[in-house]
Structure 1
Amino acid sequence: MAHTHSHGEGDANRGRLLAAFSVTALFMVAEVVGGWLSGSLALLADAGHMLTDAAALLMALLAVQFARRKPNARHTFGMLRLTTLAAFVNALALLVITALIVWEAVRRFYQPQPVAGGMMLGIAIAGLLANLLSFWLLHRGSEEKNLNVRAAALHVMGDLLGSVGAIVAALVIMYTGWTPADPILSILVSLLVLRSGWALLRESLHELLEGAPASINVDKLARDITRNIPEVRNVHHLHLWQVGEKPVLTLHVQVIPPHDHDALLHRIHHYLHETCQIAHATVQMEYQACAGHDCDLGAAQEHAHHDHAHAHAHH
C-alpha cells in the first residue's frame, strides 16, 4: 500500500462507515413507515435508534474526513478532535432518543394501541438483517482504537438488540394478542442502549476535558522514568492528554548534568515511545531544582516561558 499505515486505516474506516451509513439510512426509512403502518412502538424505537445510527455514521464519516486535514497555524493538531466531538454528540443523541421512547412506552401502558403483528414481524426481521450487515462492516477494522467507529458500532449494536426485541414482541402479539409486549420490549431495548450511550458519553467527555488516556498511569510513569533512566533525579510538571488517538505529553526532568545532552534527551524520548507509545513529547531538562514554589501539576502558567533548555521532539 502506498499510503502510510494510519492513512490506509482511515480510508478503510471511511469505506466501512459509508457502506454502513447507506444500509442504515435505507432501513431506517423502512422501519419508520412500517412502525407507523403497524402501530408498533418497538419498531419505531428501533427506527429511532437507526436514526441516531445514521446521524452517528454520518458524523463519523465527516470526522474521518476532517481528521485527514493537515495541521495548520490555527489548528496545530489538525482536526483530530472532531472525532471525539462526534462521539460526544452521538452519545447525547442516544440518551435523548432513549428518553423519548421510554416516555412513549409508559404512555402506551395506560392507553394500549392496536399493533399489526405480521407486518411488524416482517419489518423487524429485515431490520435485523440490515443491522447485522452494518455491524459486520464496522467490526472488521481498527475500531478498538478509533472511538468514533466504536461509537457507530455501539449504535448498531443497540439496533441489533432493538430488532431482536421487535421480533420477540411481534411473535408475542401474533400468538397471544397481548399488545403491552410492544412497549415493554421497547423499554428493555432502551435500557440496553442507555448503558452503552452513557459509557460513550463519559469516555468522550473525559477526552474533551484533556483527561489522561486510561491506559497510562501518570504517577507510575513519573516514577518509572526516574527508576529506569539513572541520570533523571526528578520528574515534575507532567501533563498528559490525548488528541484523537494520539497521546501527547509535556514534562520537566531534573537531571545530573550529562556528557551528552542530546543523547540523554533521545533516551528519554525512546523510553516514552517504547513503554507508552508516546510519539509526541516535549521534554524540558533542568540541571537545578525547579525554581517554582509550587513546582507540581497545575502550575504550568509559571513556566509557560520555557527557556533554552526546552527541547521538542515530534516524530
Structure 2
Amino acid sequence: MSLHSGIPRAIAADVRRGERLEYWTLGWMASVVLVMWLVMGASQAMKAAVIEDVLSLVPAVVFLLSVRWERRRPTARFPFGYRRANSLAFLVAATALLSVGGFLAYESVSTLIRQEHPTVGGITLFGHTIWLGWLMLAALAYSVIPPIILGRMKQPIAERIKDKVLHTDALMQKADWQTGLAGIAGIVGIGLGWWWADATAALFISLSIIKDAVGALKQAVAELLDGTPRALDSNELSNDAKQLVAALKARFGKIDVRLRETGRYIAVEVDCLPPDAIPTAAELMGDDLAWRLASLSFRPEPGDTGP
C-alpha cells in the first residue's frame, strides 16, 4: 500500500531553503577558492585548504541535482519514482568528504616525512613590500566565515527534512572552517620558524574529517543496500524508525517488521496477513513525520490462512 502523497508544505519549504543555501554555498565558496588561490604561495596548509574548498562544492552540487531528480514523476522505466536519487547523492557527498580527508592526510604526512621547509616570501603592493603571510592569514580568516554561517544554517534544515546529503554538506562546511583555522596556525608557525607546524596543522584536521567521512560512507552504503533507516549523525537506527516499529508491533502483536530507507522516505514490510483496516501514516508516526512513510505492505508468512 502506497502512503506517500507528497511532502507537507512546511517540509517542501525547508527543501527550497536548503536549495537556496546550496546556491549561496556555490557562490561564497567559489569566492573563497579564488581568494585562497591568489595568495596560496608554497604553503602546504594553504594548498590543502584550496583543494579542500574545491571539493567542498561537490555535496552542494549533488544535493541540488538530487532534489531536482526527486521531483520527477514516476515513469514506465522508473515506476517507483526517483526517491533514491537522494541516496545516490549521499554516497557521492560522503565519498567527496572522505577524499578531502584522505588527500589532506597524505599531503601532510608526505611533507613531514620529507621534512620540507615551506617558505613564505614577500610581495610588492603599491610600491611596498610586505610579507605574503599577512595576505594568507587574511584570506584564511575570510575562508572561515562563510562555512561557519552556512553550516549552522543547514544543520537544522537537514534534521527537519531528514536529508543526509545536506547533513553531510554541513559536515563539509565544518571541515572547511576547521581547515581554515588549521591553515592560520600553520602560517603563524612558519612565521615563527616552525617548519613542521604547517603540515601538522593540516594533518590534525584531516583525521577529524576522515572520521566524519567514514561514518557518512557507512550510512550511504547501508542505505543503498536497503538497510534500516539510520540517524543523521550516527550509524544507529533512527528514532522515527524505532517509533514506527514499536507502533506496528503494538497494533499487530509479535510480528517481523522490515524497514528500508529510500532517500528521505521509509518503506515498510510486515510479515502478517493484511488487516481489515490499514493504519494511516499519521497513526503510526504522528502528523509531523507521517510524510516519511512512503509505503506499507503486508506479506503473509507461510502457513497463514487468515480467518
TM-score by length of 2: 0.78
The alpha-carbon distance between structure 1 residues 59 and 69, as it changes in their structure 2 partners (threshold 3 A), is same
Please report how far the alpha carbon of residue 107 of structure 1 lies from its aligned counterpart in structure 2 after TM superposition: 2.7
Q: How do 1:1-315 residues align onto structure 2 when only pairs under 5 Å count? A: 4-35=9-40, 38-109=41-112, 110=114, 111-116=116-121, 117-139=133-155, 141-143=157-159, 145-174=162-191, 176-213=192-229, 214-215=237-238, 225-226=248-249, 228-229=250-251, 232=252, 235-236=255-256, 238-254=257-273, 262=276, 265-267=277-279, 271-274=283-286, 277=290, 279-284=293-298, 290-291=302-303
In 1, distance between residues paired with 2:76 and 2:139? 51
- 3-state secondary structure, aligned to 1:250: strand
In 1, distance between residues paired with 2:154 and 2:211? 20
Matching residue of 1:295: none
Please report how far the alpha carbon of residue 56 of structure 1 lies from its aligned counterpart in structure 2 after TM superposition: 1.6
Please report how far the alpha carbon of residue 140 of structure 1 lies from its aligned counterpart in structure 2 after TM superposition: 5.6
Structure 1 regions of 5+ residues with no counterpart?
256-260, 293-306, 310-315
In 1, distance between residues paired with 2:303 and 2:10? 43
TM-score by length of 1: 0.76
In 1, distance between residues paired with 2:136 and 2:208? 21
Count of matched residue pairs: 276
Larger radius of gyration: 1
Q: Does structure 2 retain, via aligned residues, the 8 Å contact 1:20–1:137?
A: no
Q: Does structure 2 retain, via aligned residues, the 8 Å contact 1:212–1:242?
A: yes
Aligned CA-pair RMSD: 3.0
Instruction: State the one-letter code of the partner of 1:66.
Output: W
Instruction: State the one-letter code of the partner of 1:279.
Output: L
Structure 2 regions of 5+ residues with no counterpart?
1-7, 122-132, 230-236
Please report how far the alpha carbon of residue 220 of structure 1 lies from its aligned counterpart in structure 2 after TM superposition: 9.2
In 2, distance between residues paired with 1:268 and 1:195? 39
In 2, distance between residues paired with 1:126 and 1:274? 44
The alpha-carbon distance between structure 1 residues 156 and 233, as it changes in their structure 2 partners (threshold 3 A), is closer
In 1, distance between residues paired with 2:88 and 2:184? 34
Matching residue of 1:313: none
**CA shift digits 1:44-64 (9 cap, x unpaired):** 212222111112211111112
Q: Does structure 1 retain, via aligned residues, the 8 Å contact 2:117–2:196?
A: yes
Please report how far the alpha carbon of residue 19 of structure 1 lies from its aligned counterpart in structure 2 after TM superposition: 0.7
Please report how far the alpha carbon of residue 269 of structure 1 lies from its aligned counterpart in structure 2 after TM superposition: 6.0
